[in-house]
Each structure stands twice: as C-alpha cells, then as structure tokens.
Amino acid sequence: MNFTLTPFIYSTLTPFVPSPMKIHTFLTDTENQSLNFDTSDLAELDRALTSCSRLPQCEIRHHFDDTTFPDEATDADFVLTWKFESQWYKRFSHLKGVFTPAAGDDWVAADPSGKVSVTNGTFHGPVLAESLLSAILFMNHRMPSMIRNFQARQWDRNLQTGSRLLSTQTILIIGMGHIGMHCAQLMKPLVKQVLGVRRSAVPTEQFEIYSIERLPMLLPIADHVVLLLPGGSETNRFMNRDRLCLMQPGAYIYNFGRGNSLVAADLMPCLNRLGGAFLDVTEDEPLPATSPLWQKKNVFITPHSSCMYKDYTGLYIQEVVQHLSQLKLPGANLLI
C-alpha cells in the first residue's frame, strides 16, 4: 500500500499590535494665564497617562496656540482642551472624545454630528464648596466692614455685633446639581438647614429639594441664597428684582454659577434692604471699572476665581485618566 505524505505548510502569524492612542492637548487659555497648564502640570499628565496599566500605549502631544492646534492635531483620538469650536470637528476625523476641565458647556462646543462625546470636569464640587463656605463666613461675620475698619486703622468693635451664628440660619441653594450637592454636604453640619431648588423636585435622603415654582415660599425664609445656575437664555435674569424682593431683609445672596442669572440692574435697587452680595461671576467679565457694583459697601466681588486652587490641575488629571481607563480601548490591559 502506497501512502502519499502531504507536507505541512508552516505560516508565521504576525501578532496584532494596536496603534498607539493619540492624545493631543490644548490646555492653554489665551485670556486667563491662571488657567494655563504649565510644563510641570503637563509632565504630570504625561506620567499619569503613560504609567496607567489600564491604558494602551499613548502618543501625547501638547499644543499652546489655537491658530495651529486645529491644523496639527487632526489625527487625535482624544483631545484634552479648554476650548474646542464646532467647526473643528470636521477636521478631526479620528476623534472619539473631548475632555475639558471646564464645568460649564460654554467652553467646548458640542459635535454637530453628535458622534464625538464631550466630557466636562466633574471635580469642581469639593473645590467650589470650600470657596462658598469661605464666602458665607466672610459675609456673615461682616468682614467687608472689618476690611475698611482695618484700612482706616480704626478700632471699632461694634461692626460685628449684629452677626448671627450659622447654626441658627438657613441656606437656600438654587441649582442643586452635582456641585450644589457638594456645597450642601459641606454646609449641612454648620447650619440650621440647607434647602435646594432645581428645575424639578427630586427627593433625597439628605436634603429637601424643591421645584422652581416653590421659590416664593422659600426665598423669604432663607438667610443666605446661593446661585449655582448654568449660563444660557433659560437663566437670563433668573434672580430678577421681583425674586430679590422676596428675600428677607438682611439676607445675603451669592452667585457662583454664571453672571447672566443676576445682573446689576436688578441687584442694585435691592442692596439697601439686603445684607449684601458676594459675586464670583458677573454679567460682563471682566466687570468694567465703571460698574456701580464696585462702589457698594455691602458687595464683594471676586474675578470668577472660586476654583482657583493649586489642586485644580491634579484633580483634572486624575479624572481624565479615570475616564480613559474605563473605556474599552484596543491594547488596554483589562485584566489588571
């Protein structure tokens, strides 16, 4: 019997090697240098991305000019940026996602096609909550008057005698979203009660949250009214003169959301009966030196700086790495 032996044919299979994930950054703000990520921040970002075992190999490139960024970053899989304009999406054909430190949606435009996701920073809650706490303590203990007392080298011990302990007071937060919840949690142990308002009432175990329709009932009982509203046409002059007049005499108002929700034309006539206003945001930014708000003794203004902490960049970096590591990316080690 004859056997025919068929020779084995060996073939070499080339293992699949995924392409590196291309990340481009544009974390420079041409108007506010305090928002720029400096070389040490970017080096920390590089280390965090390249050392994360749950991410594939990364190619990272940093950009510092918005005139060249749209041309030189078009091969990006992901972009980390303060700014992204709607017309840029057409040029970024590989783009899967945009990550911005900004909490509001007025920095990065949405993709007109709806294909590219935009992820805003969600780490601002604990940061802004500390700024709000300092503002409430500052206004409640009449520190604007004490600053003038100090500058005049006077020893007037009567200026603060009308102050009341926070433990006897009610705080009303209008805009009880993610940031508002952090603020409420920080304030809760210090005050009598924290009440919240949002577009629709959502019951929680920790706080009483009401719909906007209940404001006429809530404003008269609040000692401190906090605005944490987003920008946009829906919130234009939200805290108008009629609503300001519902606040109890001596109450304080704070704006840490967007400046369009509380404007000088509505606030100025009410300041004589209110305890005062603390404004971190204003209708025009920078607020012109000619604004009458600068001249009111019971108004204190900070330049949209409630989140200006040294920790800011590190918190953003941690969050970006966490977001990316949760995506199912080719080449990522998902077993760790």
Helix (H) or strand (E) holding 58: strand 58-62
Residues 317, 297, single domain; the answer is: no
DSSP readout, 95-157? --EEEES-SSTTSBPPPTTS-SEEEE--THHHHHHHHHHHHHHHHHTTHHHHHHHHHTT---T
Asked whether residue 136 is assigned to any structural domain, the reply reads no
Residues 282, 173, single domain; the answer is: yes
Asked whether residue 31 is assigned to any structural domain, the reply reads yes
The boundaries of the domain holding residue 119 are 21-124+310-325
**Residue 331 pLDDT > 60, yes or no?**
no
How many domains is the chain partitioned into structurally?
2
82-134 pLDDT per residue, tens: 999 999 999 999 999 999 999 988 899 999 999 999 999 999 999 999 999 99
Residues 236, 273, single domain; the answer is: yes
Confidence of residue 16 (pLDDT cuts 50, 70, 90): very low
pTM, to two decimals: 0.90
Residues 174, 90, single domain; the answer is: no
Residues 168, 295, single domain; the answer is: yes
Asked whether residue 243 is assigned to any structural domain, the reply reads yes
Structure tokens at 302: 């900070």
Does 202 or 312 have the greater pLDDT score? 312
Asked whether residue 65 is assigned to any structural domain, the reply reads yes
Residues 104, 225, single domain; the answer is: no
Q: How far apart are CA 245 and CA 253, in angstroms?
A: 12
Q: What is the pLDDT of residue 334?
A: 36
**Residue 327 pLDDT > 80, yes or no?**
yes
207-241 pLDDT per residue, tens: 999 999 999 999 999 999 999 999 999 999 999 99
Q: How far apart are CA 139 and CA 312, in angstroms?
A: 25
Q: What is the pLDDT of residue 159?
A: 96
Q: How far apart are CA 25 and CA 82, in angstroms?
A: 9
Q: How far apart are CA 43 and CA 68, in angstroms?
A: 21
Asked whether residue 84 is assigned to any structural domain, the reply reads yes
| Mean pLDDT (the chain, rounded) | 92
Q: What is the pLDDT of residue 92?
A: 97
Residues 182, 282, single domain; the answer is: yes
Residues 99, 226, single domain; the answer is: no
For position 261, which CATH number holds? 3.40.50.720
Confidence of residue 33 (pLDDT cuts 50, 70, 90): confident
Q: What is the pLDDT of residue 58?
A: 94
Task: Give me the mean pLDDT over the 35-56 stretch.
Answer: 95
Asked whether residue 143 is assigned to any structural domain, the reply reads no
172-184 pLDDT per residue, tens: 999 999 999 999 9
200-212 pLDDT per residue, tens: 888 788 999 999 9
Residues 111, 185, single domain; the answer is: no
